[in-house]
Structure 1
């Protein structure tokens, strides 16, 4: 259970707090020592408690353990904060210590009751303790294997190209043993494809012996015998009941044979390591084909060069063909999607609506066809449209198929069941994002870190953000999360989750009281909520009568997110609201919430790690309130143009991510509260330039990885240049000067020209907006591993391409408004060896662009916008065969020249896929 993993983290954190802060808790020593023993006992019990939540009594036991762990953690943390930060007077402290003693005694008593009830709660599971989850998994997998054995070869070839590619790999001329892998999420068709190529006539003729083995039980060394026996018998060997079949036995039998072995559904690298010794290298063209959901298994077995990844179906016609093949009435009547015998238009439309819920997953489409066929047999008299309509109205149809649930949701849920405990809460957190939304990983990591899902590396050498990226990559490699967009350095920028996996995440979250999503304020207010994490949307704004969230909800909520027109009146409502959610770790209000200023009660949210009020139209915040939030790691005030904080914000020494407009000196008789402190762990800072940068305050932020400073003025540039030169850990830098189209060009406008970047070996992304003089001298100090460069308002007088094309790692280049003031631009042969995306926007003086053959040989995307004096696109573009997407806008002259088949420049771009050409 995911909540079990989260509770284990809470318990470990509480125990560590007790050990590390014993001096603060000395006044209640006996109670604290007992609490420490109780928490250690709970830590030992937590795995079993949450593994066995199979009945109401066991679930109650696990939930009580979770509640005690949360109470203990919050009480300890609160008291330590009060002591450490001197919030109370001596008299108040004595009272607080007495209260702490009472609260700890209450928690200890609750633990004792829990201990006494343990036998009762677990009595029904005593004979199978620790095994129900595995039992359920094995049951699911046994049903799946039985289906596969009876599977008929599909008439619709949804993966025709994949089949040909895999067959080519199997039948290639290479005589050495090749390990080939098929990778993809559950239900995407890995087993179907492997069976198809296994039975292919060409493949059959290539191999002397073949074996197809399902690694589909809980694999242990005990199962090794069964797998080896299957391979041996399938390849013409015999099994002696008195002798054990070993890898060496199988290897000896296969030694002089050309063989094909298919290992279907391998879940971990240990399984492969145990089996690989059975496959001899006979230099005769033998092959091993394996299927897996996990990329790291494929890499371990086959490397990256011999794997084949399957994705969901994006072609609605293919989806429809697969559906009709599995819907019995269509089979009988030979109805096709288009042509003279297609179904009525309303039925096609309804069918497409249902197919959309399958999100292109072949298994879900097959299940839908089979489900409707079954219901058609039961209710033969019911009109077909009515049957489909009623089934479509069941939003949960895909996961509620009774005894056949293993066919879709069960198969997908296996990936979740197999997750290690530390990844389960990270996966379930995805349920708090809208289905099919693109998720920015920076924000996702900030949530995970705030919730303390990310475990600090024991070596201490890795940042929390890097560990979060490791977690994400593992979820991606397990086919539970998909990559939407990569950064220029190859790391994930945006991700998403498949719709059906999102449903599993939401279902498991609700079952565990992990999280809950509400479509309206009314729904949130009316439903009794026990979840720890809540997100509220307003999807039906016209019908929305309630806009204020109730303050009487569960005070143990740890994450609260409100998006899309959720409204909050000002005091006293807001003070009452904050007082009702004192356990919050994450508070995220997005958009116009009606909040003009934050009340004093906000400083009572002492556990808060993440606070975002992006685009909420705040007018002011008392920084002293925020400075009491000593655990705050992320503060996002972007889009609030009137809010300024004073330098007390630097008191938040654990801050890691900071988005705000400006920092001003505190208005307290000239005394700057935060001037002697600064957040040493700060990773990300997005801010406007101001007096806060002086006195070396910027360069003290030596841990910065991403820095963006907006509205820089000449008076700030020297200080910024000195600071940036010393911030050598930077990975991304944006320096945005305040400019105007009417601003004259003068020698005084020299932003950034003196910054030496040669020591910035980690800097991969650079955005500069402002006048650059002495271009060749400036360029010699560009970061050596620069991948992404955006230039705007640079007023460069010499052709920038002659220098930029020599940057070996550059993959993305944008030359924006008035970057270059010359009339001709040249890309030389062999230049821009790595560039994949090039954007030219509003370079008004540009008339001629020469592109020599052999330049831009990796380019896949080209955008030209508003370069109104450019006479024609370069002739050399016809040699850029890698180009897949071309966009030309706001250039009517070029639009005519590029008209399909008729335009004078059409021959230069006709090799680009037609769907990739956008001319407007």
Structure 2
């Protein structure tokens, strides 16, 4: 986003006395959208050689590159490339400014995320409310200490603080679905193989790269796609003002009272302006989803109330989130994921009471669950968990929630081998034993860990090298846990630790004489609650 302060910050660094003392020669060039590679390189050479009147236009390209190489090898140089827009522009400049054996440092400013990813990126965030108001006062009210300006400052304070207020987080999938429903997302200029959701995500990524929206959380399950974003208040007001010019957004409220849902749905589509629909279900029987084979997104499926007769025919499905309560529905969905739903990149599935994993046939279904990305299990597993040992190495699981599983043996060795696991929550009598161990090299990518409501857990051992990336951890209501593991002192990435319902353990990590404080002194935020 233009005006976010990128150039101002870089200029501060560029003009700082420590920078001037460290480097011997400097160059600052502005690229913008119209980039003339040759002209920019001539300008860089002129500034590095401190020869403002030098004419380099008569040099051949080889001679120009040679002089740039020589000056950079002779001196420590700093080059700022301001407001670069395209990667091909960087490619054209890079070969002339990034010679081996030189000590040149190159600083880029850009509005495009793909260019920022070229090197070590520093994001310029928007100002918070207080800092934004202080900046506005300095710029708008330079005479604010004079009595006559007091009233003006009070009036502008209300306006200014409102300007800098940011809106709430927005679920990215909701935005994409609304764009598609509004007919804004088309296959034009895209391959027919690209589904509409992927095209919408590309548009959202482009807006983020231009800082029109701010990415709050990426979704690694969808290949670094966006999970949630934020729209600045000023931009939101602009969007609302444009939206007021639209009289009809195509919203229709429908009532389904029975019959074949596909016929009801297709009849509803005869309304030319309908793009969003709210369907009120007046029928208590299970709703058949037959006839929706072209569906790309299915969220909120529940086998209690929905019936999928032939999920394997839904070959266009790209996003699925649902809950199953019986083994037949579970088997059908897992079979679809392993066959026709292979391009469905977000497999969020909750397995609840009604499903059971007790026989060899059940175990075969359970093993295939590791092909999913998000998995929430609320059923007993007991001794069968150890049977999954060979399944973990090829697992796609990134998020795993285990509850009421009543696992007998330590599950950490098996779980720790899941190669892509990012989030793990073990809760509500998931484990009935007394001791768990996180061996070295286990949980190589884990970032968030929760251990809750394990009434028998007494000892937890963490070896050096385990969980190297874990940054957030919560331990709640494990009353018999005697102490914080010694290995916590090796968790260098841990920034947030939350303890709840364990007052004695809380005392052990107290900064004032706690026996275990030395194990967590590096943790930035520690919260202890009764």
TM-score range, shorter chain: 0.7 to 0.9
| Partner residue, 1:237 | 51
Q: State the secondary structure of the residue aligned to 2:424.
A: strand
Question: Is 1:877–1:909's contact at 8 Å kept on the other side of the alignment?
Answer: yes
CA 1:398/1:772 → structure 2, altered by over 3 Å: closer, same or farther? closer
CA 1:663/1:780 → structure 2, altered by over 3 Å: closer, same or farther? farther
CA 1:728/1:752 → structure 2, altered by over 3 Å: closer, same or farther? farther
Q: State the secondary structure of the residue aligned to 1:886.
A: strand
Counterpart among 200, 213, 227 of residue 29 in structure 2: 213
| Partner residue, 1:439 | 170
| Partner residue, 1:228 | 42
Once residues 111 and 467 of structure 2 are traced to their aligned partners in structure 1, the CA distance between those partners, rounded to angstroms, is 36
Structure 1 unaligned regions, length at least 5: 1-184, 315-354, 400-433, 517-530, 533-553, 559-583, 588-596, 601-619, 647-661, 665-673, 740-744
Shift of 1:885: 0.7
Counterpart among 166, 170, 190 of residue 458 in structure 1: 190
2:218 counterpart of 1:486: yes
Shift of 1:722: 4.9
CA offset digits 1:615-664 (Å, max 9, x no partner): xxxxx688565442338887676xx8x75487xxxxxxxxxxxxxxx415
CA 1:882/1:748 → structure 2, altered by over 3 Å: closer, same or farther? closer
Once residues 884 and 780 of structure 1 are traced to their aligned partners in structure 2, the CA distance between those partners, rounded to angstroms, is 33
Superposed, 1:556-571 pairs within 5 Å as 557-558=248-249
Question: Is 1:734–1:766's contact at 8 Å kept on the other side of the alignment?
Answer: yes
CA 1:764/1:633 → structure 2, altered by over 3 Å: closer, same or farther? farther
| Partner residue, 1:781 | 391
2:262 counterpart of 1:680: no
CA 1:241/1:822 → structure 2, altered by over 3 Å: closer, same or farther? closer
CA 1:190/1:246 → structure 2, altered by over 3 Å: closer, same or farther? farther
2:311 counterpart of 1:698: yes
Once residues 779 and 634 of structure 1 are traced to their aligned partners in structure 2, the CA distance between those partners, rounded to angstroms, is 46
Shift of 1:903: 3.0
| Partner residue, 1:267 | 85
Superposed, 1:869-908 pairs within 5 Å as 869-908=480-519
Question: Is 1:247–1:278's contact at 8 Å kept on the other side of the alignment?
Answer: no
CA offset digits 1:256-283 (Å, max 9, x no partner): 2233322222233354345446547373
| Partner residue, 1:735 | 350
CA offset digits 1:45-79 (Å, max 9, x no partner): xxxxxxxxxxxxxxxxxxxxxxxxxxxxxxxxxxx
Superposed, 1:23-172 pairs within 5 Å as none
| Partner residue, 1:917 | 527
Question: Is 2:437–2:461's contact at 8 Å kept on the other side of the alignment?
Answer: yes
Shift of 1:861: 1.1
| Partner residue, 1:753 | 363
Once residues 820 and 205 of structure 1 are traced to their aligned partners in structure 2, the CA distance between those partners, rounded to angstroms, is 61
TM-score, normalised relative to structure 2: 0.83
Question: Is 2:434–2:457's contact at 8 Å kept on the other side of the alignment?
Answer: yes
CA 1:702/1:256 → structure 2, altered by over 3 Å: closer, same or farther? closer
Shift of 1:766: 1.6
Question: Is 1:752–1:772's contact at 8 Å kept on the other side of the alignment?
Answer: no
2:446 counterpart of 1:835: yes
Once residues 906 and 242 of structure 1 are traced to their aligned partners in structure 2, the CA distance between those partners, rounded to angstroms, is 64
| Partner residue, 1:307 | 121
CA 1:481/1:504 → structure 2, altered by over 3 Å: closer, same or farther? closer
CA offset digits 1:446-488 (Å, max 9, x no partner): 1111122223263222222122222222222222222212335
CA offset digits 1:216-256 (Å, max 9, x no partner): 6x6254x9648834751563335478956786665454342
Looking at secondary structure, tell me which structure has more helix per residue.
1
Once residues 719 and 397 of structure 1 are traced to their aligned partners in structure 2, the CA distance between those partners, rounded to angstroms, is 52
Question: Is 2:357–2:381's contact at 8 Å kept on the other side of the alignment?
Answer: no
Q: What RMSD, in angstroms, separates the aligned Cα atoms of the two structures?
A: 3.8
Once residues 343 and 100 of structure 2 are traced to their aligned partners in structure 1, the CA distance between those partners, rounded to angstroms, is 51
CA offset digits 1:790-816 (Å, max 9, x no partner): 111212222111211111221111112
Once residues 324 and 368 of structure 2 are traced to their aligned partners in structure 1, the CA distance between those partners, rounded to angstroms, is 25
Question: Is 1:839–1:862's contact at 8 Å kept on the other side of the alignment?
Answer: yes
Q: State the secondary structure of the residue aligned to 1:780.
A: helix
Q: State the secondary structure of the residue aligned to 1:486.
A: strand
Q: State the secondary structure of the residue aligned to 1:204.
A: helix
CA offset digits 1:68-92 (Å, max 9, x no partner): xxxxxxxxxxxxxxxxxxxxxxxxx
2:151 counterpart of 1:373: no
| Partner residue, 1:474 | 206
CA 1:693/1:845 → structure 2, altered by over 3 Å: closer, same or farther? farther
Shift of 1:690: 4.0
Question: Is 2:356–2:379's contact at 8 Å kept on the other side of the alignment?
Answer: no
| Partner residue, 2:112 | 294
Once residues 397 and 691 of structure 1 are traced to their aligned partners in structure 2, the CA distance between those partners, rounded to angstroms, is 45
| Partner residue, 2:267 | 628
Shift of 1:732: 1.5
Shift of 1:684: 2.3
- The range that moved more, 239-248 or 862-871, is 239-248
Q: State the secondary structure of the residue aligned to 1:775.
A: helix
Once residues 496 and 474 of structure 1 are traced to their aligned partners in structure 2, the CA distance between those partners, rounded to angstroms, is 14
Shift of 1:508: 6.2
CA 1:724/1:281 → structure 2, altered by over 3 Å: closer, same or farther? closer
Shift of 1:852: 2.4
Counterpart among 703, 707, 710 of residue 323 in structure 2: 710
Once residues 56 and 179 of structure 2 are traced to their aligned partners in structure 1, the CA distance between those partners, rounded to angstroms, is 54
Once residues 26 and 114 of structure 2 are traced to their aligned partners in structure 1, the CA distance between those partners, rounded to angstroms, is 26
| Partner residue, 2:455 | 844
Q: State the secondary structure of the residue aligned to 1:754.
A: helix
Once residues 392 and 697 of structure 1 are traced to their aligned partners in structure 2, the CA distance between those partners, rounded to angstroms, is 60
Looking at secondary structure, tell me which structure has more strand per residue.
2
CA 1:681/1:716 → structure 2, altered by over 3 Å: closer, same or farther? closer
| Partner residue, 1:765 | 374
Structure 2 unaligned regions, length at least 5: none
Once residues 192 and 479 of structure 1 are traced to their aligned partners in structure 2, the CA distance between those partners, rounded to angstroms, is 17
Question: Is 2:398–2:421's contact at 8 Å kept on the other side of the alignment?
Answer: yes
Once residues 361 and 479 of structure 2 are traced to their aligned partners in structure 1, the CA distance between those partners, rounded to angstroms, is 28
| Partner residue, 2:478 | 867
Once residues 749 and 892 of structure 1 are traced to their aligned partners in structure 2, the CA distance between those partners, rounded to angstroms, is 42
CA 1:496/1:621 → structure 2, altered by over 3 Å: closer, same or farther? farther
TM-score, normalised relative to structure 1: 0.50
